[in-house]
Structures are given as C-alpha cells and as structure tokens.
Amino acid sequence: MDSRKVGLGILGFLALAVWSVYFYTKPKLYNYQKTLIVYSYPSFLNAWGPGPILVKEFEAQCDCKINLVQVEDSTLILQKLLREREKRVDLVLGLDQLHLPQAEEKLSWQPLSELVELLPDREVPAHHFFLPLDWAPLTFIYRKSELKNPPRSIDDLLKPEYKSTIALQDPRTSTPGLQFLSWISLVKKENAATFLKQLKHNIHSISPSWSTAYGLFKKKQAKLAYSYLTSPVYHWVEEKDSDYQPIVFKESLAVQYEWMAIPEGSSNVPLAKEFIKFLLSDSAQKIVMEKNYMFPAQERIMAQTPFAQLPLVKTFSLQDYATLKMKELLDLWSQVQ
C-alpha cells in the first residue's frame, strides 16, 4: 500500500473532523431577552409530538425564540438541573410526580400560585411550584378478542387463567415499571412483596422499557400490558382498531402527571409564565392531548373526542404518593427477586 495515500487519507479525515467540529460549534446567537430555554422529554419534542407545533404557534404570538433542549427523562432532567446549577434554564416540562419530592427538596423553583386558577377542573391537582401539562392513570391494556374475561381487581391478576400473559416494565429502568410497583405498594401495603411473589407465575416478561413491553403485547406475545389508560385511543384513532381496551380495576389506579415548573434561576420568568399560560390554553391542550395520547390538564376539552369514551376510574392522590419512598420501592423489587 502506498504510504502517501494513507497519510493523505488520514489528513483528509482530520480535516473533515476539524471542519465538522467548527461547523457545529460556531456560536449560536440569541437575544436573551426574547429567548426561552426549555428542558423537555423526547416524546414531547418528537416531530410527531406536540412540542414542535406548540413552539411554532407560541413563537408567532410572542415574537420570541423557544430553545428546546431534549433530556432523556424526568430523572435526567433533575440530575442535569442539580449538576448545572449555574446554567440558564427557564422552564422544565415533563417532571413526573415520583420525582416531585426530590425536585422540591433539592432545587428552588419560582412560585406559580397565580397560574393555579387556570386549572379550574378539580380533578387535576395543582401545586405551588408545579403545574400539570397532561396526565393519565395507568392500568392494564388488553385485546377484547383475545381475553374474554379480563381481570377486574388486583387479586384477579393472580388467577391461573392469566399464566404468563402479563408484560411488565422493570422499575429500575422504566417509569411505568416504577408506577406499577407504586400501585401494588399503595394497594397492598405491607402485603406487596407477597403479592408480587405470587404474581411471578403470571408474568410473561419484564422489559427494560415501556416500548419493549408494549411491543411484545402488540406483537401478541403477551395478552396484558401495563400502560396508560389512554393508550387504546392511539389504536382507535390511528389504527381504527377498537379491539384494544383498558381494564377498569375496582381499586384506585396509579397515575402519572407531567409537570411544568420554572427553576428559580430562570432569567426570563415573565416569558416562561406566558408560555405556561399558553400551554394551558384550550387550543394548546387539545394539541397535547391528541399528540401525546394523554388526558389534558383542562378536562373540559375532552368532550366530543375519543378520550371521552374512556372509562372513569379512581386514582391515587398526590398525598398518597407522598407516602412512597423510591428506595423502599426498589428494595421491595429486590426482595421479590
């Protein structure tokens, strides 16, 4: 091999690398008075998610620039905020309630009391520092053609007829998995470990993520998947398939809220509050509901939509969740293993 060719090749590659570093690192200029830096999670920011449309609409109204920063999930959002206290972040979208105690304890937030009145529906809780963007209870989803007699109570899940049918998520790697553990813990209290040990026989698989568990269910490998009560709406609307149904348990269900909050160090609090107001408006909430497949924080807009066909269920309150300790939940999971 000609050594000059190799040398030239290496030089060419280095030149390309240097160019790409320069191209991507050239400073981006923002007008800080008119820019909002928002941390959010991937499914909000996806091209088919609500983020891009909402940002476009808000930017047209406010003559400002929304700079969306994707952070993998609620855990990482908190970690990023904790590690980068000096860094400017104006708004956070997508904290879940399992992380609220930690967020409140370790970080400082701007009070949002004056915005609470924007949420007149008493079903949806509001917090002094955190306001919900959307929410959904969590339950098992099934196909009615496949499961003629779905479970109706948490104890029904132990029945032999559901042997190896349940697709779950691992609570150490997945938020719905942690929600399942919270649910069992809230319902069964000190008997949670015994219940989980008995449930083992009926578990088909424990996946590292919601998408894998739901994928196994969708591929008909499992008959029940732990997911959002609102998940069937995707199948009804996008796939025109009404076979998918949520199970209504007689016990209260776990619930997931996606919260919005303004870090205390935000350099544009008025604009951040304007954006929250916009996100809680009826038009924005409709977009959130239709793109995220979650209940909107403004429940009135669900009327005349497929979401209104979903069953009414009881859910645990934030006070109930406040009694849970994440460490204890994961210890419970270890015990079962």
Partner 1 sequence: MSIKSLIRFLIALLLLSPFLVLVSELNSWNHIPYAQFLHILSFTILQASLSSFSILLFGFLGALGLVHFYNWKKLETLLLLPSLVPTLFVLVACLKFFNPFPFGLTGIVIVQTALYTGLCAVSLKSLLLTKVGTWSELALVEGATRLAFLKVVLSYLKKDLALLLLFFFSLTFSSLSVPLIAGGFTGQTLELFIYEKIRIDQDFSQAFALSLFQSLFLLAICWKLSRFHTSLNTKPFQPRLLGLWWGLIPVLTITVIILWGQLLDLPRGFQDLKQLHSVVSFSSALLHSVFISLGAGFFMIFLLALTCYALPHPHFRPFLLSYLAPSTAFLGVAWLSLDLPEFLSPLVAIILGLCVLTLPLIYRLQVDGTFYALLPQMEVAQSLGASPSEIYWKIILPQVWPALCFGAALMAFWASGDFAFSSLMAPSTFSLSLLIKSLADSYRIEAASSLAWLNLILGLSVWIFFRRLGYVFGYRPH
Shortest Å distance, C-beta 311 to partner 1: 20
3-state secondary structure the chain: CCHHHHHHHHHHHHHHHHHHHHHHHCCCCCCHHHEEEEEECHHHHCCCCCHHHHHHHHHHHHCCEEEEEECCCHHHHHHHHHHCCCCCCCEEEEEEHHHHHHHHHHCCECCCHHHHCCCCCCCCCCCCCCEEEEEEEEEEEEECCCCCCCCCCHHHHHCHHHCCCEEEECCCCCHHHHHHHHHHHHHHHHHHHHHHHHHHHHEEEEECCHHHHHHHHHCCCCCEEEEECCHHHHHHHHCCCCCEEECCCCCCEEEEEEEEECECCCCCHHHHHHHHHHHCCHHHHHHHHHHHCCEECCHHHHCCCHHHHCCCCCECCHHHHHCCCHHHHHHHHHHHC
In this complex, which beta carbon is closest to partner 1, that of residue 205 or of residue 252? 205
Q: Please report, for residues 155, 187, 200, 248, 252, the alpha-carbon distance to residue 196 in angstroms, rounded to integers and kept in the order given.
A: 11, 12, 6, 20, 18
In this complex, which beta carbon is closest to partner 1, that of residue 110 or of residue 209? 209
Shortest Å distance, C-beta 255 to partner 1: 20
335 binds partner 1 (CB under 8 A): no
In this complex, which beta carbon is closest to partner 1, that of residue 66 or of residue 203? 203
140 binds partner 1 (CB under 8 A): no
Shortest Å distance, C-beta 152 to partner 1: 25
Shortest Å distance, C-beta 336 to partner 1: 7
List the one residue from 206, 225, 262, 288 that touches partner 1 (CB under 8 A). 206
107 binds partner 1 (CB under 8 A): no
Shortest Å distance, C-beta 298 to partner 1: 22
306 binds partner 1 (CB under 8 A): no
Q: Which of residues 71-100 bind partner 1 (CB under 8 A)?
A: 72, 75-76, 79-80, 83-84
In this complex, which beta carbon is closest to partner 1, that of residue 23 or of residue 303? 23
Shortest Å distance, C-beta 118 to partner 1: 27
Q: Please report, for residues 41, 124, 203, 260, the alpha-carbon distance to residue 160 in angstroms, rounded to integers and kept in the order given.
A: 39, 37, 11, 43
Of 142-150, 154-162, 165-173, 300-308, the window that binds partner 1 (rule: CB under 8 A) is 165-173
Q: How far apart, in whole angstroms, are the C-alpha atoms of residue 68 and residue 45?
A: 8
67 binds partner 1 (CB under 8 A): no
In this complex, which beta carbon is closest to partner 1, that of residue 98 or of residue 247? 98
Q: Which of residues 26-65 bind partner 1 (CB under 8 A)?
A: 42-43, 45-49, 52
The amino acid present at 294, given as its one-letter code, is M
105 binds partner 1 (CB under 8 A): no
240 binds partner 1 (CB under 8 A): no
Shortest Å distance, C-beta 219 to partner 1: 5
Which residues make up the interface to partner 1 (CB under 8 A)?
A: 1, 3, 5-6, 10, 13-14, 16-17, 20-21, 23-25, 42-43, 45-49, 52, 70, 72, 75-76, 79-80, 83-84, 164, 170, 172-173, 200, 203, 205-212, 214-216, 218-219, 221, 231, 234-235, 238, 293, 326-327, 330, 334, 336-337
